[in-house]
Homo-oligomer: A and B are copies of this chain.
Amino acid sequence: MKGVAQRRATIVDVAKQANVSKSTVARVLEGKINVSDDARARVLKAVAALGYERNRLAVGMRSGRTGLLAIVIPDITNPFWAEVTRGAQDQAIKKGFSLLVFSSDWDVAKEAAHLQAIRQARVDGAIINPVADNFDSIDFFGMPLVFLGSSAERFPEISSVGSDIKQGVNLGLQAFAERGHALPSLIMGPRSRLARIRFLRAVTDYCIARDMDPELVTIEDADYTVEGGFQAMSRLLELNARKEKHRAVFAANDLMALGAMMAVRKAGLRCNEDVSILGFDGIPAGMFSMPGLTTIKKPSRQIGETAMVCLLDEIEGHSEHGRIHLPCQLIERDSVADLYRQNEINR
């Protein structure tokens, strides 16, 4: 029987076989209660016998609900976004929805194309990490939407889920302080990204709250890549080699932190002993580096799960959730030295 194209059973076939009307079959399928046990049993039997499977297109056509959801992220190949997607996926499946996945590559044109596909597919809702500055020209016809990440802040009317950057930065800065380090130097992403602005604001707030001068912290620009982190760290090292400065470095993501570690090694210095490096993201690769990368982990999977739960809520007509910021977490490995303990040991 496999692979043979034969006509699929419809609700009418089931109705005929079970000796009831289409409506009754539909009621059973929908799980409605107002059906006699007898009729239900006959319908179920017919469904099994015919191998009937509901045509969700037809359902969607009539009811307006397709059982389809969509997620638009920059790149499914990026471990962070893969985790987010997985979280969303699991929640969607659990509720009987299927998930369309799109990668925008931070490209406005691609994003626009994906949004069109999403609207044409008549999905019941979508989770989006927006790259365009605005969607004024786009009418979503009231389609439930949840935005992801810092860039979502540009859209005040749409609920969003992301990590709590301010809290994560505080965690990192405190980690340095508690281990006896001065304020770290910073390796940041591109100036255009909203996440950078949030990061720096958190640093400033931290300094001010402790009567430190935020102007004193050195900032190197990079681009979220390993190579960029490598070069930024190299510049830091040249800036003030062996002068006891830049012995603590906080990178805005793990890839740059890993690149920075390579630069330290290249310069003949050792990470931890000579320079302490802290990352931000929590990607698996940090486990394998030498030394292991100490980092601030974003709750990636939980972000996806939460976004999906919000979306599902909005689809069911519950009120909107507003802005949700999930807490980050310190993962301690070996790239940040504990100066206090070292001193104790030396004594």
- A76: B residues at CB distance < 8 A: 76, 82, 85-86, 89, 101
Q: Judge whether A209 is part of the interface by a CB distance below 8 angstroms.
A: no
Say yes or no: A57 contacts B53, CB within 8 Å.
no
A198 at the interface (CB under 8 A from B): no
Distance, CA A93 to CA B101, complexed state (A): 11
- Contact between B2 and A140 (Cβ–Cβ < 8 Å)? yes
Known: A66-B57, A89-B103, A139-B1. A98 touches B121 (CB 8 A): yes
- Which chain B positions have C-beta within 8 A of A85? 76, 101
Size category of the binding interface on chain A: 35 or more
Number of copies: 2
Is the C-beta of A58 less than 8 angstroms from some C-beta in chain B? Answer: yes
When chains A and B are docked, how far (Å) is the Cα of A89 from the Cα of B77? 11
Question: Which residues A16-73 have CB closer than 8 A to chain B?
Answer: 51, 53-58, 60-61, 66-68, 70
Given A2-B136, A66-B57, A122-B57, CB of A103 within 8 Å of CB of B86:
yes
Contacts A8-B141, A289-B290 given; indicate if A83 touches B89 (C-beta within 8 A). Answer: no
The answer to whether the Cβ of A258 comes within 8 Å of any Cβ in the partner chain is yes
Which residue of B4, B58, B258 contacts A142 across the interface (Cβ within 8 Å)?
B4
* Given A76-B85, A99-B101: A3 and B56 interface contact (C-beta under 8 Å): no
Contact A141 B5 (CB under 8 A): yes
- A226 / chain B contacts, CB cutoff of 8 Å: 287-288
Cα(A83)–Cα(B2), bound, Å: 30
Q: Taking the complex as formed, is A135 at the interface, i.e. its CB lies under 8 A from any CB of chain B? A: yes
A101 to B226, CA, bound (A): 29
A233 CA to B90 CA, complexed, in Å: 35
Q: Give A68 to B120 CA distance when docked, in angstroms.
A: 11
Could you tell me the distance in whole angstroms from the C-beta of A317 to the nearest C-beta in chain B? 12
Interface residues of A in 79-126 (CB under 8 A from B): 79, 82-83, 85-86, 89-90, 93, 98-103, 113-114, 116-122
A180 on interface, CB distance cutoff 8 Å:
no
Q: Which of B60, B99, B100 contacts A57 (CB 8 A)?
A: B60
- Interface pair B4/A53, CB less than 8 Å apart: no
| Alpha-carbon distance between A193 and B43 when the two chains are bound, in angstroms | 41
- With A77-B79, A116-B53, A120-B53 known as contacts, the answer to whether A141 contacts B290 (CB < 8 A) is no
Residues of B with C-beta under 8 A to A319: none
- 7 more CB-based (< 8 A) A-B contacts, given A2-B135, A79-B82, A290-B290: A4-B141, A6-B141, A56-B121, A77-B79, A98-B100, A98-B121, A285-B288
Which A residues are closer than 8 A to B by beta carbons? 1-6, 8, 51, 53-58, 60-61, 66-68, 70, 75-77, 79, 82-83, 85-86, 89-90, 93, 98-103, 113-114, 116-122, 135-136, 138-142, 157, 226, 258, 261, 284-290
Question: 20 A-B pairs, CB-CB below 8 angstroms?
Answer: A2-B157, A6-B139, A53-B120, A58-B61, A68-B100, A76-B101, A77-B79, A77-B83, A89-B101, A89-B102, A93-B113, A93-B117, A98-B100, A98-B102, A98-B118, A99-B102, A261-B288, A286-B288, A288-B289, A289-B290
